[in-house]
Amino acid sequence: MQIDLTGKTALVTGGSVGIGKSIALALAECGAHVALTYLTHPEAGEAAAAEIRAHGGTAYSYHLDATDSVQVDSVMRQAATDLGGHIDILMNNAGHLVGRVKVDEMSDEHWHKVIDVNVTSAFYCTRSVLNYMHGGRIVLNSSLAGRNGGSNGAVAYATAKAALFGLTRGLAKELAPRGITVNAVAPGFIIDTPFHETFTGVDNYQNIINNIPLKRAGVPQDVANAVLYFVSEMGAWVTGQVAEINGGAWFV
C-alpha cells in the first residue's frame, strides 16, 4: 500500500533538524500539509519549511518552547488556523538530553528541565491539539534509553523517555473512543543528528555500531518510516504500541 496523506495536516515539534526534520519532510512527501516548530535556531526552522515548499508542499514554521503551556496553546491555535482549522497528526518530537550528569551531582533544576523538555512538553502539546483534532494520529518520540537505562550520566533522560511509554499507553486508551490512535517510536543509535554529535562524539560511533546486530547506525529516515506507518491507514488499527528502531540492539 502506498502511503497517501493528501489532505491531512500535521504538526511536528522540534521539526527543524535531525529526526524531527526527517519526519516533517516525509509527511510532506506523502502529501500532508506540515507545520513544524523550532526552539533555538529560527534559520533552521525556516529552512526546513522552505525545503518542503520548494518541492511543492505546504509548510509553516513557528518558534516554540514546548515546556511553556501558554506558548503551546498559542502556537497550536496559529498552526491549526494556518492548516485550515484542524490538525490530523501530531508528532511529539521535541526532547533533549540537556547534559550528562551523574545522580550524585545532579541539581533539582537539571532533573526538572530534562523531565519537562521530554515529558511535560508532550503532555502540553497533546492536551492542546485535542481542541483541533477530530480523529487522528499522535506519535511520541521516546528512546532506547527508556528501555536500557541509557549511558553514563543519562539517568534523568532515561527516566523521562521511559515515562513516555506510560503516557503513550494511557493516552491510547483514553483517546481511542475519539478515533485517535497514540503510538511511540523508540530510536536507538541514530546518526546524522545533532544529538549524538554533541553527546556521544563521532570518535565513539564505531564502538557502538560493533554492538548492533545489523552492524550499522540508524538514520533519521529509519524513524520517519515507522512514523509514516503509524499515521497512515496501514496503522489504523494500531494504538498504544512502541516501535523499537534500534537495529536489534535491544529486544522487547
Residue 126's φ and ψ, nearest 5 degrees, are -65, -45
* Cβ neighbours of 236 (radius 10 Å): 12
Helix (H, G, I), strand (E, B) or coil at 142: coil
Distance of CA 64 to the CA centre of its chain: 14
Rounded CA separation 133/136 (Å):
6
| Closest C-alpha among 90, 120, 98, 79 to residue 23 | 90
Give every CB contact of residue 183 below 8 A, 6+ residues apart in sequence: 137, 138, 139, 140, 168, 172, 230, 235, 238, 239, 240, 241, 242, 243
Active site residue 157: yes
Point out the catalytic residue in the list 38, 157, 205, 229.
Answer: 157
Report H helices in 149-192: 155-175
Residue 194's φ and ψ, nearest 5 degrees, are -60, -25
Active-site residue list: 157
